[in-house]
A and B are shown apart, each in its own frame.
Chain A
Amino acid sequence: MKFYYFHLMPYPLEHGEPSSWVTLSNRHYDPAVGHVLYNQYLDQLEYAETLGWDGLCVNEHHQNCYGTMPSPNVMAAMLVRRTRRARIAILGNGLPLRENPLRVAEEIAMLDVASGGRVISGFVRGIGPEYYSTAVNPTHSRERFYEAAELIIRAWTEAGPFPFDGRFYRYPFVNPWPRPLQRPHPPVWCPSQGSAETVEWAARRRFPYLMVFTPIRRIAQIYGEYREACERSGYTASRYQLTVNLPIVVAESDAKADAIARRNALWVYHVGLRMPLQFWQPPGYTTEASLRRLLTAGLKLPTELSFEDLEAGGYIICGGPATVRDKLRVFADELRAGVVCSGFPAGTHEATLDMMQLFAEEVMPHFREDADVDETAGVGR
């Protein structure tokens, strides 16, 4: 199994406002605190490479305290020059939110060339509140996503210049310099919440599918649908096309891990992802078929989840090293996920570094049967 260190770069504010997105005033953001946080977070990502993680993940979110990386490519650029071996996974750029998605093709190519071909390029639509923050019409979201993805991949793979004339994006000359180093292009991943349309689209193109903060029974269901869609497209999915993103809390004992998780792991759900329903679901963002699926699936909003829900539902992994190994085995052997992306909500910076070390020493070595496998070979393109 491959391990990717996933960072949200949260601004861990406690507040009583109804939303942590869109309307939470940025007067709550103290740049002096932000300076310390950014540098600690980057230190953690760099340390992850030292400890043996295979990849380092950054991601894009706007106008919120949940994740303070409006430009993941900026963070990736910092990591490229401070690391030598690990993959840099940008999970991902919010394509429909861009007015000029050719800029994504350019920036990813820059990072790929500078890093010697270590970049993984996630394509995402951006979540509901980001359509309020950017004013992009959410009813165009899906179509803009597909169109921008097609444009970017063509820009990476076809010799320019060529014209592109889409519904939303039009260019008389597509001809970006530089071109990416990886051939035919950097692997593309699809982080998603499981809409049927995205599953089908990603499977058809061999783009690895990443389930973010989802209960384990739904992960199993969506993985099944993805594998079936791959078969319909005439191939069998590699385990490295199935990726899971979930927080891990590991400590010397189950009891200690439990105490740490109760203190820290709930913030993401109860504060970080707190927002009213209309932000989660801007008009037209979700197709009627997927909306019906959501309405009848009986999923809880993040703020409705108790700690017991998180643990029992498999939203998080928490325990002493032996327990964490057992729980990871479920993902490795039963769900047959090939990549685990995780953050480690330990509390302080020092506690995070300690927890990372414990994980690297006591857990990671037990999942290294595939140490010599290149997880990006033949997938994502």
Chain B
Amino acid sequence: MTRAREVTVRGVPVRLLSGGAGPALLFLHSAGGAGRWLPFQEHLARRFAVEFPSHPGHGGSPAAEWIEHISDLAFHYLDLLDLLGLERVHLVGASFGGWIAAEIAVMAAHRLKSLVLIDPVGIKVDGWIYPFLFAMDLPELVSTVFHDVTAALALVPRGEGPDTLLELARERAALARVAWNPYLYDPLLRRRLPRVTTPTLLCWGEHDRVASLACARVWAAELPDARLEIFGGSGHVPHLEEPARVAAVVGDFCAAREGAG
């Protein structure tokens, strides 16, 4: 059983989905993935108490105009951990959520039992420029993000009236506020990655066209304690494209770090 509620983090209302039992696991979603409890979360919830907040401006969480930098979101989630009384958690972030997770890890590795980054963006990789998703129409966006385009059906908007369109516009604006320029990265993050002493699992879709495997190799090289798992049937969002496989690998990794220090 999942439960949906609203909590207030330092005055910012946050929509929060919670489900499962076990050690606490915080999941930070990708752009477009807010508020959707899908098979990936369902699998993890069999082994962990999953906390799944919507970023401000995403998935029904109201926009927070004061957020102007990715580190604002990282501090926001450290505040959420305090509010929930979670001293140490397993932190799992996908794409944009992976970027936030990495920012949290360079700030406060001591709050993390393990770190899982699924096709994160967030660092500048020489020779790679993230494709400008804001300029794409829906078909191009889907074919860029997904290797298995049928997996995109899970993210189809629930309505089509003005309210739905406004909600989508709010999400795009919330993303653009922190990611338009520099586009999808924080120039300071890469040189701080050596601070992340947390055991880290990098999950990567072999066919990722947003952040290629070249990016994965840079993350693996910069993080002191990282292992790279490649998923052959996926593009940029393997947790949506191969949810059972990814959840099994993630679950095993986090479980192995449970109580390991």
Partner of A284, one of B137, B165, B177: B177
Q: Tell me the interface secondary structure of chain B in the complex.
A: helix
Q: Mask for A286-323, Cβ within 8 A of B = 1, else 0? A: 00100110011000000000000000000000000000
Asked if B173 is at the interface of the complex by the 8 Å CB criterion, the answer is yes
Assess A295 versus B176: contact at CB under 8 Å? Given A137-B181, A278-B134, A278-B137.
no
* Residues in chain B near residue A281, CB distance under 8 A: 169
Instruction: Enumerate chain A residues within 8 angstroms of B180, measured Cβ to Cβ.
Output: 135, 137-139, 283
Q: Tell whether B175 is near chain A: CB-to-CB under 8 Å.
A: yes
Q: Cβ of B169: which chain A residues have Cβ within 8 Å of it?
A: 281, 283, 288, 291
Cα of A296 to Cα of B162 in the assembled complex, Å: 8
- CB-contact partner of B181 in A135, A277, A279, under 8 A: A135
Flag if A138 contacts B176 (CB, 8 Å).
yes
Known: A22-B135, A137-B181, A276-B137. A282 touches B176 (CB 8 A): yes
Chain B residue nearest to A135 (CB atoms) is: B181
Chain A proximity mask over B164-188: 1 for CB below 8 Å, otherwise 0: 0110011011011100110100000
**Which B residues are in CB contact (< 8 Å) with A23?**
135
Candidate in A276, A284, A295 with the most chain B CB atoms within 10 angstroms: A284
- The complex places the Cα of A29 from the Cα of B100 at a distance, in Å, of 42
Chain B residue with Cβ nearest A288: B166
From 123 to 176 in chain B, residues with beta carbon under 8 angstroms from any chain A beta carbon are 132, 134-137, 162, 165-166, 169-170, 172-173, 175-176
B168 nearest in chain A by CB position: A283
Output the residue of A23, A137, A139 with the most chain B CB within 10 A: A139
User: Chain A residues with Cβ under 8 A from B135's Cβ?
Assistant: 22-23, 132, 278-279
**CB–CB A139/B137 < 8 A:** no
With A292-B162, A296-B162 in contact, do A284 and B172 touch (Cβ < 8 Å)? yes
A292 and B176 contacting across the interface, CB-CB below 8 Å: no
Check B177 against A139 for contact (C-beta < 8 Å). Answer: yes
Q: How far is the CB of A89 from chain B (nearest CB, A)?
A: 31
| A136 proximal to B (CB < 8 A) | yes
Chain A count of residues within 8 A CB distance of the other chain: 21
Given A136-B181, A139-B173, A283-B180, are A295 and B166 also a contact pair (CB < 8 Å)? yes
In the complex formed, the residue of A with least CB distance to B183 is A135
Q: A233-267: which have CB < 8 Å to B?
A: none
Whole-angstrom distance from the CB of B170 to the nearest CB of chain A?
A: 7
Smallest CB–CB gap between A140 and chain B, Å? 8
Give the CA-CA distance A292 to B165 in the complex, in Å.
9
Q: Which residues of B contact A296 (CB under 8 A)?
A: 162
B166–A137 touching, CB < 8 Å: no
Contact A137 B176 (CB under 8 A): yes
**Which residues of chain B come closer than 8 Å to A276, judged between CB atoms?**
137
Q: Which B residues are CB-close (under 8 A) to A138?
A: 176, 180
Interface centre among B136, B166, B176 (most CB of A within 10 A): B176
Q: Which residues of A contact B137 (CB under 8 A)?
A: 276-278
B181:A282 contact, CB within 8 angstroms: no
B179 CB → nearest A CB, Å: 9
CB-CB under 8 A for A139 and B176, given A291-B166, A295-B166: yes
Q: List 15 A-B contacts (CB under 8 A).
A: A135-B180, A137-B180, A278-B136, A283-B169, A283-B173, A283-B176, A284-B176, A284-B177, A288-B169, A288-B170, A291-B166, A291-B169, A292-B162, A295-B165, A295-B166
Binding site for B on A (CB under 8 A): 22-23, 132, 135-139, 276-279, 281-284, 288, 291-292, 295-296
A sample of 14 more A-B contacts (CB under 8 A), given A136-B181, A276-B137, A278-B135, is A23-B135, A132-B135, A135-B180, A135-B181, A135-B183, A137-B177, A137-B181, A139-B173, A139-B176, A283-B176, A283-B180, A284-B177, A288-B166, A292-B166
